[in-house]
Structure 1
Amino acid sequence: MATITVILTQPPYSTKAAAEGLEFALASTNYGLECQVVFSGAGVFQLLANQQPEGLKNQLKQAKVLPFYDIEPVYVCQASLTAHALTIDDLGIESEDIQLLSPIELHELLSQADHTVTF
């Protein structure tokens, strides 16, 4: 089975890229791909707790269903959290569903993927 890694680098709600990236990841599982999702850069803001966007799909709610599509764990770049002065406690996903990655671990994960897509 081919592995696809989806890297989400965009903050929620500023462009369509964040929502499209999550939808792409969910849809990829319908095609027999093993999908991994990495939240990196400003993409970590998609996981912030207590999101209440008006008139838009809630990014956090979409991220919370990733395990139901066998997309687990949810990978989060530790350096990105640190750069944005965030901790795992600021995120709205259960900590047992998250795996923090160091830059070296992120590089290793990406090098093992058959395909990589960045949003």
Structure 2
Amino acid sequence: MSENILVINHTAPFDGANIREGLDMALIFAALDQNVSWLFKGPAVLALKAGNDASQLGMKNYFKQLKTLEIYDVEQIYVCAEAMSQFALTADDLNIDAQILTLDAQQTLLKQQNKVVSL
């Protein structure tokens, strides 16, 4: 039976491995035929900024994999409107399609989930 699972990332893309772990979780849940959504809040929205390259820091460049999420049926990608404003980003600045959600819309999204994983 499919469940609605929301992965939430809060940390900056180069602050530990939380974004990478979020990516791994989203792909694992999708492989198990779950309805996966992924929400980027706070500095985590910077992970979706076009042009990111972790290899310059000696890290595996997982940013390219973000573009393949659709192939794995992870199509419900969301970003926090306040964080987008805080970092002066628009939807055009992102390397993948993501829906911008207000805080109220995020609360609605949370209520629709069976499970939430917060990183």
Distance 2:27 2:9 in 1: 13
Matches of residues 14-93 of structure 1 in structure 2 within 5 Å? Answer: 14-54=15-55, 55-93=58-96
Distance apart, 1:71 and its partner CA: 1.1
- Tell me, which stretches of 5 or more residues in structure 2 are unaligned? none
- Tell me, which stretches of 5 or more residues in structure 1 are unaligned? none
Q: Does structure 2 retain, via aligned residues, the 8 Å contact 1:47–1:59?
A: no
RMSD of aligned residue pairs (Cα, Å): 1.3
Q: Aligned pairs, how many?
A: 116
TM-score by length of 2: 0.89
Partner deviation per Cα, 1:88-119 (whole Å, 9 max, x = no partner): 222112xxx32111111111001110000011
Distance 1:111 1:73 in 2: 15
Aligned partner of residue 45 in structure 1, secondary structure = helix
Q: Does structure 1 retain, via aligned residues, the 8 Å contact 2:36–2:76?
A: no
TM-score by length of 1: 0.89
Q: Is 1:105 aligned with 2:102?
A: no
**Identical pairs, percent:** 35
